[in-house]
Chain A
Amino acid sequence: GQQVMQIPQYQHVQEGEDFTTYCNSSTTLSNIQWYKQRPGGHPVFLIQLVKSGEVKKQKRLTFQFGEAKKNSSLHITATQTTDVGTYFCAGLNNDMRFGAGTRLTVKP
């Protein structure tokens, strides 16, 4: 079945440093979505990527969808303490499968 792998599992950065998380699927995806889950909270939708090679930006966040539609990345420029949380990718094939997430901690 469809597998969505995400790395790294954890990332600890100093405030102001950049952060990147990577998502890889064993199968071609119809689209990919990214979610953020704060400690104690529930996943909150950030963005959806649909097209091969698509790049979208939200302020300091840059999302990419690979040419083969099997991988994706989320890059945060100049992290802030408010970026703390776990970032999940979720790939749509026949259903929506989530990666294990990357837990980001930011040291002020």
Chain B
Amino acid sequence: GAGVSQSPRYKVAKRGQDVALRCDPISGHVSLFWYQQALGQGPEFLTYFQNEAQLDKSGLPSDRFFAERPEGSVSTLKIQRTQQEDSAVYLCASSPWDALYFGPGTRLTVL
């Protein structure tokens, strides 16, 4: 079946621009996670949803980062006024209850 999909796969933004990253989880998966992965590093936790409820957003680096999952399926990670330090791969993962199934990620480059 279809896995987790993310769009766009690549995004180049000018500093100060707003971006929106989309995640389509595996159908029926209750949990959805967002991670930020810098080059050569492990995935850094950003936020976690169970259905439409955002249960943990402690990993969001600043109030410029906002995530939503309004209907408990598709999720969007929005970054306002992007900064160069926001450049990274943003990974989305969904989970039925145990394993995380990752999407291919969105590579964000902020110039």
- Stretch in contact with the other chain, from A11-19, A53-61, A69-77, A96-104: A96-104
Contact check, A43 vs B41: say whether CB atoms are below 8 A apart: no
Which DSSP category, helix, strand, loop or mixed, fits chain A's interface? strand
Contact check, A42 vs B45: say whether CB atoms are below 8 A apart: no
Contact check, A97 vs B99: say whether CB atoms are below 8 A apart: no
Does A33 touch B at the CB level, under 8 Å?
yes
Most buried by B among A41, A42, A90, A99: A42
Q: Nearest residue in A to B46 (C-beta to C-beta)? A: A95
Which DSSP category, helix, strand, loop or mixed, fits chain B's interface? loop
Give the size category of A's interface with B: 20 to 34
Contact check, A33 vs B45: say whether CB atoms are below 8 A apart: no
Contact check, A43 vs B98: say whether CB atoms are below 8 A apart: no
Does A88 touch B at the CB level, under 8 Å?
yes
Shortest CB distance A27–B (Å):
14
Give the size category of B's interface with A: 20 to 34
Interface string of B53-88 (1 = CB under 8 A from A): 000101100000000000000000000000000000
Q: Assess A45 versus B44: contact at CB under 8 Å? Given A94-B56, A95-B56.
A: no
Other than A42-B103, A96-B45, A100-B41, give 12 A-B pairs with Cβ distance below 8 A. A6-B42, A31-B98, A33-B100, A35-B100, A43-B43, A45-B99, A45-B100, A48-B98, A94-B56, A95-B56, A96-B33, A98-B45
